[in-house]
Amino acid sequence: MMPGMNPKKMKQMMKQLGMTMDQLEDVRQVVIYTAKGNYVFDQPEVVSTTMQGMTTYQISGQAEFQPAEIQIPEEDVAMVAEQTGASPGDARTALKACNGDIAEAILKLTGE
């Protein structure tokens, strides 16, 4: 709310403007998914505000960023394994270490 303002008066003003604010109870976790990774909020405080028919959510808490795992196509794993004679598991590990770069993974596995 606003500092120095009576909370009861503030609620009356919000009601006159057609604005409602509610605290969501017992929220355990909020996750925001992005292409580069996920933002995970454990035990956050979440407030929903509805104004003019639109609801917005405010999340307060400590976020932990979890980077997205690189998706390696099976064709790439098969190609690296075939070219190097490595097992598919080793080929996948090398591809992940090289951010999916096939040529770099082959060089890494062949020791060149």
Residue spans of beta strands (DSSP E) within the chain: 19-24, 29-33, 37-42, 45-51, 54-60, 63-67
Query: What CATH number has the domain bearing residue 80?
Result: 1.10.8
User: What confidence tens digit (pLDDT) does each residue in 60-85 have?
Assistant: 999 999 998 888 999 999 999 999 99
Q: Is residue 6 part of a domain?
A: no
Q: Which two tokens stand for residue 25?
A: 């109870």
Bridge partners (DSSP) of residue 66 are 38
Q: Is residue 13 part of a domain?
A: no
- Cβ–Cβ contacts within 10 Å for residue 95, how many? 25
Q: What are phi and psi of 59, to 5 degrees?
A: -110, 125
Bridge partners (DSSP) of residue 33 are 38
Bin 86: left if φ > 0, else alpha if -120 < ψ < 50, else beta. Answer: beta
Q: Is residue 55 part of a domain?
A: yes
Instruction: Look at residue 74 in the predicted model and tell me its pLDDT.
Output: 95
Q: Is residue 7 part of a domain?
A: no
Structural domain boundaries enclosing 39: 18-67
Query: What CATH number has the domain bearing residue 40?
Result: 2.20.70.30
User: What confidence tens digit (pLDDT) does each residue in 27-58 have?
Assistant: 999 999 998 999 999 999 999 999 888 999 99
